[in-house]
Chains A and B, each alone.
Chain A
Amino acid sequence: NAGVTQTPKFQVLKTGQSMTLQCAQDMNHNSMYWYRQDPGMGLRLIYYSASEGTTDKGEVPNGYNVSRLNKREFSLRLESAAPSQTSVYFCASSEAGGQGSYGYTFGSGTRLTVV
């Protein structure tokens, strides 16, 4: 009953470094999402994947790329980290996207600090 697994849980990067945040779900969900959470800003959608093979930009995609590797895995890449990307990153999945709406299952988050 793992649900959504995110790795790593914590990461410190230097400005300009790159890294990939990993996310995997074992619920056979079609849709997956990446959000960032900043104090006073709530959760903001970075990218999402409505189904395997598709990805779309969310509200704050600049500075990020994503890969939907297969139905289970959805990774988020920071090519050149900036201090403004210091945040807590959450991956989530849901049963379906598009016209349907279902509850999300969230991972436990990755706390990223860029110095």
Chain B
Amino acid sequence: SQQGEEDPQALSIQEGENATMNCSYKTSINNLQWYRQNSGRGLVHLILIRSNEREKHSGRLRVTLDTSKKSSSLLITASRAADTASYFCATGQGKLTFGQGTILTVHP
């Protein structure tokens, strides 16, 4: 069973534009994490946001968390071709459950 569900499934944008991906989950959480996966590679941890946080920044990444709506969003500002990847949200205590991911394509 998937705890997190990403939306949209695929997103195609031009370089320089912002990309927003959403994640919805079903049960209460203590934190939510976002990961990136480049084609043919392992996942890379991007950011962790705790349930008592509403917003967190890391470089060009901005993550928000709305526990009342059981949802989170990942915003990538001023996207680059190198941001092309799949992005996953994950929840869980210790062992994580991953969503199915958003495939982001950034065209040069």
Contacts and interface: CB of A to CB of B under 8 A. Distances in A.
Interface of A: 4, 31, 33, 35, 40-43, 45, 48, 50, 58-59, 90, 92, 94, 96-109
Contacts of B94: 31, 48, 50, 94, 96-101
B42 A109 contact: yes
B88 interface: yes
Given A59-B1, A101-B30, A103-B33, A45 B43 contact: no
A114 to B, nearest CB: 20
Interface residues of B, number: 24
A90 B43 contact: yes
B2 A42 contact: yes
A108 to B, nearest CB: 5
Contacts of A50: 94-95
B2 A101 contact: no
Nearest to A105: B45
B44 interface: yes
Nearest to B34: A103
Given A33-B96, A40-B100, 13 more contacts: A31-B94, A33-B95, A35-B98, A41-B100, A42-B100, A48-B94, A97-B95, A98-B94, A99-B94, A100-B93, A101-B92, A103-B33, A108-B41
B64 interface: no
B42 A90 contact: yes
Interface in B20-46: 30-31, 33, 35, 40-45
Contacts of B44: 106
Nearest to A101: B31
A115 B50 CA distance: 44
Nearest to B48: A103
